[in-house]
Chains A and B, each alone.
Chain A
Amino acid sequence: MLFNSYEFIFVFLPLSFFVYFYLNHKRLTIASKGWLVFSSLFFYSWWNIVYLPLILVSVLFNFTIAKTIVGSIDFKNKYLSKKSLLKIGLVFNIGLLVYFKYMDFFISNINTAFGSDMGLLYLALPLAISFFTLQQIAFLIDSYEGLAKEKLFLDYAVFVTFFPQLIAGPIVHHKEMMPQFASVKNKVKNYNNIALGLFIFSIGLFKKVVIADTFAIWATAGFDTAITLNLLEAWATSISYTFQLYFDFSGYTDMAIGAALLFNIKLPINFNSPFKATGIIDFWQRWHITLTSFITAYIYTPLVKSFKNLSIHKAMVATLITFLIAGLWHGASWMFVIFGGLHGIALVVNNYWKKSKLKINKILAWFITFNFVNIAFIFFRAKEWSDAIKVLGSMFSLDNIVLPDRLEYKLSFLSSFGIEFGTWAEEISGSNWTAIWIIIGFTLVLIFNNSIQRINNFQFNYRTVSLTGFAFIFSILSLGKASEFLYFNF
């Protein structure tokens, strides 16, 4: 089920909310947790019930392994060490991910490399597998290190399946979630949280339905439909995608945070105005923050620890490896590996630059960072190398410049340099509105406070209620055909 659908907004969310608090009101706490798990699994199954057993098996298996690791089941000392159990758990989770997400990718690469003809499996990617697998890997490692312990299967199931964060994060830790579910205070309706939840959910819905889906039109046309692009079209395509991805994913996260707040659960923030970043290190501290935390804690740190005689150079190798893995986590394609590799290299450069203590003008630093991020996202979006080169090549080609025809009168002398005047955004199904929206996009990401900052200074008054009501109503009226969130594909 999509957050931006009528059935979620008008039926599922209100129903799950009222039943949950009704059961808690009647002091049926186990039933309320059971209801939350049931409704979350229903939410998951709405997409495709075929994969319901997969998530159930995954949850059950990880719970059993974790419980065995922390010593609640006696046979561990006789047969398996804690470390062996952890390894089994990791192999299971990574194996699941590899089988469903990467198998065809590996097969096709083997076929290409060795000229073999192994058949592809054509498996549909189970929804949310990348997210619930990461979350459970973190839980197993935390259990191994004594940082997490879960006795009841129902509590563990709530932790993994809680619907606001199930599909595309934020990636949550057991230790930050379970105390909230256990708190008696949180079992009572909290009007402050409900109001804040409605606010942030409405803002997120607006970001997704009104802003991201508008940029999607030009990004999709530029990447998927256009055969050639002129210079302005290429830049409009790449920037449209960059903004589409940000407003789509941060909109989703806002909706997740808002929906969770209705249940008195505070999810971690995932975005903190990433396009205000003035360096790539800064960018990754602001973009998909929970993923950055995960890869730092569970990939980068163990890698660094595995090196003998750690040096800055070795740490940079670890950074590069970590980001290649993070790139591949996003999807089974060399394009994602390139995306991860580019960011890994940029982080290495940024780290050495910081170490050199050289100064750079802040605006120039922002300019370089934004353009790097924008260019790297081309590889993130492109289905194939040729699509990426089509956009990237046109962004830096001076052979194909078409300016809006209304400028012809003033800039006609440019014709002698081969510059044409005409419908500058035709190939991306755009118009002058494309340029206006891009300006609006920059204004929103650079000047305005982000939704989390707004929540921290939130005031309950007529202005905020009107703004929230307007955002919600405008989004509902713009829903039309609910479109999927981009991060559902990862």
Chain B
Amino acid sequence: MKTKKWIRTWIVIVIVVLPIVGGFNYVIDPYGENNYFNYPGINEIKQDERQLKFNYLYNNNNYESVILGNSKGTIIDPSVIKKFTGLETYNASFSAGTIDEFLEYTKWLINNRNIKQLFIVFEYYALTEYNSNGRMPPKLRPNTSFKSDYFSFSKFKSSIKVILNNITFIEDLRNERKVYLDKGMRYYTKYFERQNSIEKQLEHIEFLKSAKITWLGKNISEERINNLKEIVTLCKENNIELFLLQTPSSYRILNINDRKNYRKLLSLIKTIALEIHPVYFFNDFNYINNNLKYFLDNNHFNYDVNELIFERVFLDKGIGLKITPNNAYKIDTLLELERDNKLKEK
């Protein structure tokens, strides 16, 4: 092969393949960012939860109350909140949501919607340096360049995945999406299947006792603490009622690493309550934490807990604690009990 021909071939390969990949990603649009082409059975159902929910919020203007949270937040049924407040509520929670992401959503909601209430469901990691690598919708990340997004191998993989999913699991995806878009909450069919069988429920509990557990997040991020402060300020300035919720985990999660992580969580909650905003705290080894029957897995509580959480928020009764600057000593009490080994799971 002559050198000139070699160079020409190289240029042709590059000129042909790169636009094909970019064009393919643009057309398939795996995260639903441009919605240029939505074809049933090919790419109708996208795969990104963040984008899917944002698109819904973007196209619907009838919500006065929004839940922003992580995967635990996705279990919350917005109709439970509506029962207490009468406000139309949408659950915009997504997997591994972190405070910096919630801040961008908050800004967008303030600028584009007229909401009265905002619920933020956070985990310890949301305020640490933990990075979920979740894709923020482009409208919430204006600095993302067009070129780098579509000429991307990871997006190409997602495009392929979307097509395969649409071909293979179309019905399941449709059902799942329907629940997402109606309420914004996740729908775990296995939970409902277990409801009719005590045997299956016991089996599930046994499974959870030995299931793998992890604790995400390490060092607290100053930047994310500041993000939370900014959210609080923005809500105050715009007369939005803000609720910070640290929802229940199972005792197995709280016991990880000889409860060293749990003690860090308690310190974090106290700091937030004293310096930033009151927190509804549901990890005081209450009967929900201590009973695996209330959990889908060790980290995610099930639908039975929804009502109990909001009884504490709106009726000030039941499980959990509302930690404010005036009663932050309750966290100290928990720390003391923990230190004296008196805080026990049942």
Among A426, A465, A480, the residue within 8 A (CB) of B6 is A465
Q: Taking the complex as formed, is B95 at the interface, i.e. its CB lies under 8 A from any CB of chain A?
A: no
- Chain B residues whose CB sits within 8 angstroms of the CB of A194 once the complex forms: 3, 7
The minimal Cβ–Cβ distance linking A222 to chain B, given in whole angstroms, is: 12
- Chain B residues whose CB sits within 8 angstroms of the CB of A225 once the complex forms: 129, 218-219
Q: Taking the complex as formed, is B13 at the interface, i.e. its CB lies under 8 A from any CB of chain A?
A: yes
A226-B218, A461-B1, A469-B10 known; A479+B148 contact, CB < 8 A: yes
Q: Taking the complex as formed, is B190 at the interface, i.e. its CB lies under 8 A from any CB of chain A?
A: no
A462-B1, A477-B156 known; A198+B10 contact, CB < 8 A: yes
The total of chain A residues at the interface (CB under 8 A) is: 30
B residues 1-33 near A (Cβ < 8 Å) are: 1-7, 9-10, 13-14, 17-18, 21
CA separation between A464 and B21, bound complex, in Å?
A: 22
- Chain A residues whose CB sits within 8 angstroms of the CB of B346 once the complex forms: none
Q: Taking the complex as formed, is B152 at the interface, i.e. its CB lies under 8 A from any CB of chain A?
A: yes
Interchain CB contact under 8 A, A422 and B7:
no
CA separation between A124 and B154, bound complex, in Å?
A: 34
Q: Taking the complex as formed, is A433 at the interface, i.e. its CB lies under 8 A from any CB of chain B?
A: no
The minimal Cβ–Cβ distance linking A474 to chain B, given in whole angstroms, is: 7
CA separation between A94 and B283, bound complex, in Å?
A: 59
Among B3, B18, B212, the residue within 8 A (CB) of A460 is B3
Q: Taking the complex as formed, is A6 at the interface, i.e. its CB lies under 8 A from any CB of chain B?
A: yes
Among B9, B14, B212, B218, the residue within 8 A (CB) of A472 is B14
A423-B214, A465-B1, A469-B14 known; A480+B7 contact, CB < 8 A: no
The minimal Cβ–Cβ distance linking A429 to chain B, given in whole angstroms, is: 9
CA separation between A345 and B58, bound complex, in Å?
A: 64
Q: Taking the complex as formed, is A230 at the interface, i.e. its CB lies under 8 A from any CB of chain B?
A: no
- Chain A residues whose CB sits within 8 angstroms of the CB of B169 once the complex forms: none
Among B14, B148, B153, B214, the residue within 8 A (CB) of A6 is B148
What does DSSP make chain A's interface, helix, strand, loop or mixed?
helix
Q: Taking the complex as formed, is B342 at the interface, i.e. its CB lies under 8 A from any CB of chain A?
A: no
Among A426, A472, A476, the residue within 8 A (CB) of B214 is A426
- Chain A residues whose CB sits within 8 angstroms of the CB of B151 once the complex forms: 476-477, 479
Binary CB contact string for chain B from 116 to 154 against chain A (1 if under 8 A, 0 otherwise): 000000000000010000000000000000011001111
**Of residues A195, A426, A466, A479, which shows the largest number of chain B Cβ atoms within 10 Å of its Cβ?**
A195
Interchain CB contact under 8 A, B10 and A465:
yes
Interchain CB contact under 8 A, B214 and A468:
no
CA separation between A409 and B154, bound complex, in Å?
A: 34
Interchain CB contact under 8 A, B18 and A473:
yes
Residue of B nearest to A470 (CB): B13
CA separation between A405 and B3, bound complex, in Å?
A: 53
Binary CB contact string for chain A from 370 to 407 against chain B (1 if under 8 A, 0 otherwise): 00000000000000000000000000000000000100
A residues 431-488 near B (Cβ < 8 Å) are: 460-462, 464-466, 468-469, 472-474, 476-481
The minimal Cβ–Cβ distance linking A371 to chain B, given in whole angstroms, is: 29
Residue of A nearest to B157 (CB): A477
Interchain CB contact under 8 A, A422 and B212:
yes
Interchain CB contact under 8 A, A480 and B148:
yes
Interchain CB contact under 8 A, A195 and B212:
no
A-B contacts, 9 listed (Cβ < 8 Å): A6-B147, A405-B212, A460-B6, A468-B10, A472-B14, A473-B17, A473-B18, A476-B151, A481-B148
State the B residues within 8 Å of A (CB): 1-7, 9-10, 13-14, 17-18, 21, 129, 147-148, 151-154, 156, 212, 214, 218-219
- Across the A-B interface, the 6 shortest Cβ-Cβ residue pairs: A469-B13, A477-B153, A191-B3, A460-B6, A460-B1, A465-B9
